């Protein structure tokens, strides 16, 4: 399993921005075989896939965050990012980084199953106030 550690969460006002980071364990961070991404869970709600990136670098986003969130990775530093803009109270949740083996060109499929990925971090809290 990939070991993942998230950071960058916090409290912001509506309309603000945050950038989440996820550091993956070095010895098994292999972007040629792994899909990575983010999912979130708000209190009393089901987990929701937010964004995914596949070995080709293709990305996929939930409709609720398209145009506001951007997923990216820095392979040299074994890091994954989620830039979040125009945040609203509906984005308040615990955000988790996740990874699993997948195929290239698989970002859309990965997004659909990301909450079941084999590796996930402990989460970082994002709170957006109105």
pLDDT in tens, 19-43: 999 998 855 556 667 899 999 999 9
Cβ–Cβ under 8 Å, residues 62 and 111: yes
The reported pLDDT for the residue numbered 76 is 74
The reported pLDDT for the residue numbered 75 is 75
Q: What does the alpha-carbon distance between residue 35 and residue 112 come to, in Å, rounded to a whole number?
A: 12
The reported pLDDT for the residue numbered 6 is 97
Q: Mean pLDDT, to the nearest integer, of 89-109?
A: 91
SS (H, E, C) 54-100: CCCCCEEECCCCCCCEEEEEEHHHCEEEEEECCCCHHHCEEEEEEEE
Asked if the model's pLDDT at residue 112 lies above 90, the reply is yes
β partners of residue 7? 21
Those residues whose C-beta lies under 8 Å from the C-beta of residue 76, and which sit 6 or more positions away, are none
Q: Mean pLDDT, to the nearest integer, of 33-57?
A: 93
Q: Quick one: tokens of 101?
A: 């083996």
């Amino acid at each position: 399993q990939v070991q993942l550690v998230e950071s960058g969460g916090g409290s912001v006002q509506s309309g603000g921005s945050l950038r989440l980071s996820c550091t993956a364990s070095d010895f098994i961070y292999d972007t040629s075989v792994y899909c990575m991404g983010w999912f979130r869970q708000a209190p009393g709600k089901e987990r929701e896939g937010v964004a995914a990136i596949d070995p080709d670098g293709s990305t996929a986003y939930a409709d609720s965050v398209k145009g506001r969130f951007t997923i990216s990775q820095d392979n040299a530093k074994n890091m994954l990012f989620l830039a979040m803009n125009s945040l609203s109270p509906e984005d308040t949740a615990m955000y988790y980084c996740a990874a699993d083996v997948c195929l290239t060109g698989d970002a859309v499929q990965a997004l659909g199953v990301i909450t079941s990925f084999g590796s996930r971090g402990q989460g970082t809290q994002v709170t957006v106030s109105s």
